[in-house]
Structure 1
Amino acid sequence: MSSRSRARALSARLPFGIGTVVLILCAAMLVTVGVVLSGGKYQVDDAEYAYGELRDYHRAPSIAWTIVGHEDLPDYRDEVTIQVVDTSDEGWLIAYPSGLGRSFTMVDRRNGRLLWDSPVNAGQGDCAFNEAGQVGCAVQLGTPLDDGFYLVDDAGVPTQTARYLDTKKVVGLGNNFLRVNRVGHQLSLNTPAGKTIWARTFAAPVVDIEVTGDIVVVKTADASQFLVNPTNGDNRIACDQCDIALYPTGVTVEHQDYNAERVTTYATINGRVDPDPVDDSEGLQVESGPSTLPLLTASNRIFADRGEYEVRDPARQGALWRISDRELSKSGAIACGSLVNFGRLDGSRTTYALADGDHIGSGPPPGPEQPILANPACIGSTGTTMILSNQGQLTALTPENNVAWEQGVGSPGLIKAVEGYIVLSEGSTMSVLRPD
């Protein structure tokens, strides 16, 4: 998921699961721009989804719509994946290989209809939404546009607003745009007209930026990370050899220096992270995966005689709940959306609710009807079902360790959750799976 897409997702309002408005549309229409739609009805759910929470995918989904690169996207090049890189309301900004870099265009998330008359070729540059819904594009070696910064209107017509060069990445922040220069060392915040609000230089190149409302996390190539003040670019939190992860109520900072591993948590207050830590625990690490709450375990488990885990709320001291069992595996736990799934020594698995530790279900060891999970990656959870990327396919796993449904993923393949939808990028196509 793009930084801006994560920004919209991560700013979801609490509590999760509050009333959603579901509008049933009539049979999907054939879109003349070449986007292929599947038959049936398409549901629109305007609730916000974040932290690995998906829309309803309890049953095997059909294809809602598909974009075929060589048929639908002008100047599409090679078999490189097409990706959703940003979202704003019902518009999805997609990027694909074209010319000397990438082109960008807008699609309607409900049916895949192309919304721009023609794509914007940004070359080695980048495009993103800001909070006002404006698309800003930094063009570098694009065609036919001159190098510079452009705002793109609803029809896809670009208007140059600034002549500055040297931008390889753009991320929206409020009504403005963050940009990273070509060598990656300088980050600046600029207005749509190109006026610089602040700029700072990092010792190592910036490799990623996550924006969540007013929360900005910058990750650099030397494994340092920074949570910066959006108004002036100063550090609120900074660390080396670490990982900063965002959750609904705060952040975790996992310090990874050898023999000095620890996890520090900070609370989010009025949309901003309080720089004073809530808790600091030595010898712990955070299990990776998109989830509503962090799952922690010991950083050194070599001599442990059992699996031990705890779930934290970053805004509170101590653990919400803990689990310790000699039959519990020391590894292989999956924090996924609102669920956590643990492996047992006999190969079976058991599922709990992250929020309160409520036991949801257990299943037998792998067999003819049970899957073998080899390095699974969480896509998200839907109710009590986890959706995992497992051995080159999409697997829906029930609390009883049964496969609710599976779908193969072509190569090269990429699976992403975008606003609660599952998006498959396979070779020269990109498809959205229809929720139940």
Structure 2
Amino acid sequence: MANQLNYELMERSLLGTMLVENFLILNADLTPDMFQSQVHRSIFRAMQHLAYQDKPVDYITILTMVDPKETGGAPYLANLQNFADSEKFDSYYEMVLDAWREREKQKLLFHAQSGNWSIEDIQKALDRLQTNTTRIDTSITNDLVAMYELPEKPMEQIPAVPTKIKQLDRMLVGFRNGELTIVAGRPSMGKTDVMNYFAYTAGVAGFLPIVFSLEMDRTMLIHRLVATTGKMNRLRMRDPYKYFSEKQKENWVHTLTEVDKAKIHIDDRAGITVSQIRAQARSIIRTNPERKPIIFIDYLQIIFSNDTRGGNQTHMIGQISSELKRMAKEFNCPVVCLAQLNRGVESRQNKRPLMSDLRDSGNIEQDADVIILLYRDSYYAELRENANEEYGHEIAAVDTRAYVDARGNEPLELIVAKNRNGPTGSVIVNYRKSTGQISDRGVVM
């Protein structure tokens, strides 16, 4: 009974969320019979009818379609919006769907037993049940017809999100729709600066960068973006009034305007799930239809998972990476997720990372379309220099200036270790740690 009540509340939440976000009515692949409650079936049937006619869906328009008694009464219908929860929509959808499948399975097995079905017929029926939630055209005939005139006219290029790094764009053709890219490195290697560069570049190119910063708070991330765009030392950003030069103060408004042009969105909630990321991204995409989205997440290993079976971290990370890949396909946009590398890389003589260095790798190598590993020589020189300060004569002194040119640039290696649809290899860019700037080697900063 309690379990039935829980499903009743979840169904109310689904209907309430769809009343608030009408586009979900046709996007969610629900049918009226998937609801346990007859009242909810009637409500959803009316909602679908209105949505198919491209009419607004609210409790007033629903009451014009059906008798109030069939909807539980006008007050019940009006109260549904109080149960709306877009962040939990996907989770509730899956649970309601599983409950429907279980009910249908029990009906199927009853009919199979009374009708003395063969095992083969039972298996076919169960397979149809599993794939019956979405009507998919699996024939390739229409696809072939669409290709008929390809040799006779220029092909329309599907825009990928550029990186403005020539060699990397040549290798990846930019970040592509439906692809999951993992950018991995050791702590302080420059992952967040790389993400900021990709996000800003995408925004300036006319795309919609949506950043989920699970580790760094919103203010700090914005300060980093401003410092990079304005070519300002990040230490000066701690107190611009005190440390900025007169020229920097004069350029301040211009710098803020340039950052705003990228139209970046930042969600800095800690410990959120992929479902919450999906819900927030969906909302942002919905309210910014003029731009094609690209989603950034910092970082993979601290995304919260509801799946805690056995407390197996590797299993949970694998589950999360699979969900991220599904999200990229669902939104038909690129998803770029940062990730940590194992400490073991530092014990090797050659410290350039490998895919096997991904922490709690699980299915990351399998799910990702592109894996980029970050490496810079000066990182390990900095570690040795810090250790030298701590332990004195026990560790040989290292001059980190050997890795940095007169302008403050140092080489940062982007190792494309996996590229499902293209070549692999290394790309070296300029990295200025003091400001977070990244640029092509052909560009002087």
Taking structure 2 as the reference length, the TM-score comes to: 0.24
Higher-helix-fraction structure: 2
Between Structure 1 and Structure 2, which shows a larger proportion of strand residues?
Answer: 1
What TM-score comes out, normalization by structure 1 length?
0.25
Q: Which has the higher contact order (CA 8 A, sep 6+)?
A: 2
